[in-house]
Structure 1
């Protein structure tokens, strides 16, 4: 049995950075961690993976030999890995005592409706791998209501397709205000409470206004399933990393031992100087976003 995180999400969400940061974090509290690179198009890694799909196949080779585009080549690579999944399983046999981080491609079709990646994960599940999908989404999507609805639909489709314990994460939360002012407090986006409020903001966009009924139907679909919510992540913040780790451990059933718990307490006492509480949306709001009063004061000072 091995515990593992499967890092998925669109390009630029920070999956590789997450793997690098989470490995350092988990190693610091006593876990043996290995990173498995399953992205055949990622040849600029900030770490040396313990297993690398490029030893089997790469997007560059497929493009050169089969004259496919980058997206078609990536799908071909996943189908090739599915047919040669024994190669991966043999590599993983040498990592039985490790906690695994799977760094996966950024093509969302692989997680929403294409079956090869799902079939690979099902093979691992049958071998008693305890998997949890960690779906990273760049927090800048919160600044645009239409993009946020698209992200919600993608997240929901991924959850239904992969059929794994699932954690949705708003990454780069420390940069959320640099992307533009949010229409609502951050907890509105993390809890995904009442999406009908987004429709009022969509009506301000002339092109989008034509599709009001379609937007209402999509919002209704998301709310009917009531599955999508988000936690927040700043990869450079230890208590933010700890919150995500706790959510992942709860999802895949990982229970750490006494030594690891003591190491974690020591690590966090150095980081925050007190007993740690969950890294909630309210604290993120306060830490990274200016409230209306502060904005007003800044305007008054400027005048």
Structure 2
């Protein structure tokens, strides 16, 4: 709870959502450690009944209530149907969740959510769970993680934009879209445009033109144009780049989320943040690089161009 809300029953936190493999659990681990070093009391709540390996310190675990393997075995459901059942079961047992969360009053909450996309785009169970948390005076922001490798494929990036927009409209929470695993983007290939084109979601007509150069997508130009029109008409989707190993990157994401959910830290946390960003840290601290993600990526791209010129 922030200094400005002492004496009130408000609680602040993030619901961390996104497709499988986007880095939600890693994000929760990194953010728990980062915020902990600033003096925040952070409670991580695992709402993923399929999450069996948690690197972070988990205070509340849905596995105490229900697990995906048990549901699949007893009800003969597949993983998708099983996850939906688990979320509906949690929705029917709000009292269990409320009792567990009450033990950590005054903490900052990170909710590690399942990776099934349908739960964020059109199924109501998780949406209702979030709405119930809001009724309990939680000030939440949805942190939607997307793997940055989708930027290297224009077709997949349009798909990601549509999914992000659909999620924002369905979840109905203050929203921060995050391009995760930025430290690995160089392994996925060159981007067709500068990184800020993807983070700010600039004029998407260039993306449609780029797709049209591919014989496969040329036949779907009209469809892509209509999808792009929908995205641009709403004008809601943008991204914050994230490298969990980078302090500056973590700071930018944290500040974006704090702005979204209304969290306002006090002087002590501000001093801790400045000290963390400027001081040399020990080897046990994960966030060792002080160079911003975008700067490092741009530098690497410039170096690659120079090498190509030298080869010529």
**TM-score over 0.5 for the pair:** yes
Counting only pairs closer than 5 Å after superposition, residues 110-149 of structure 1 correspond to structure 2 as: 110-149=119-158
Question: Aligned-pair distance for 1:271?
Answer: 5.5
8 Å CA contact retained: 1:38, 1:52:
yes
**Cα-to-partner distance string for 1:16-73 (whole Å, 9 max, x where unaligned):** 0010010011010100000000000010111341000011111100111011001110
Q: Rate the CA distance shift 1:27–1:293 in 2: closer, same or farther, 3 A.
A: closer
The one of 1, 26, 32 aligned to 1:23 = 32
Measure, in 2, the Cα distance between the counterparts of 1:134 and 1:105.
Answer: 13
RMSD: 1.6
Measure, in 2, the Cα distance between the counterparts of 1:217 and 1:122.
Answer: 32
8 Å CA contact retained: 1:177, 1:289:
no
Counting only pairs closer than 5 Å after superposition, residues 130-279 of structure 1 correspond to structure 2 as: 130-270=139-279
Measure, in 1, the Cα distance between the counterparts of 2:58 and 2:166.
Answer: 29
8 Å CA contact retained: 1:185, 1:285:
no
Measure, in 2, the Cα distance between the counterparts of 1:66 and 1:292.
Answer: 51
Counting only pairs closer than 5 Å after superposition, residues 10-49 of structure 1 correspond to structure 2 as: 10-49=19-58
Measure, in 2, the Cα distance between the counterparts of 1:98 and 1:286.
Answer: 34
**Cα-to-partner distance string for 1:161-206 (whole Å, 9 max, x where unaligned):** 0110000000111111210110000000000010010112211322
Q: Rate the CA distance shift 1:214–1:236 in 2: closer, same or farther, 3 A.
A: same
Q: Which ranges in structure 2 are unaligned for 5 or more consecutive residues?
A: 1-9, 282-290
8 Å CA contact retained: 2:87, 2:126:
yes
What is the number of residues matched between the two proteins? 294
8 Å CA contact retained: 1:4, 1:132:
yes
Measure, in 2, the Cα distance between the counterparts of 1:242 and 1:176.
Answer: 20
Measure, in 1, the Cα distance between the counterparts of 2:257 and 2:292.
Answer: 20
Query: Which residue number corresponds to residue 16 of structure 2?
Result: 7
> Are residues 1:68 and 2:109 paired?
no
Deviates more, 1:30-39 or 1:44-53: 44-53
Q: Which ranges in structure 1 are unaligned for 5 or more consecutive residues?
A: 273-281
Equivalent position SS for 1:95: coil
**Cα-to-partner distance string for 1:103-126 (whole Å, 9 max, x where unaligned):** 000011100000010001111111
8 Å CA contact retained: 2:32, 2:56:
no
Q: TM-score, normalised by structure 2?
A: 0.91
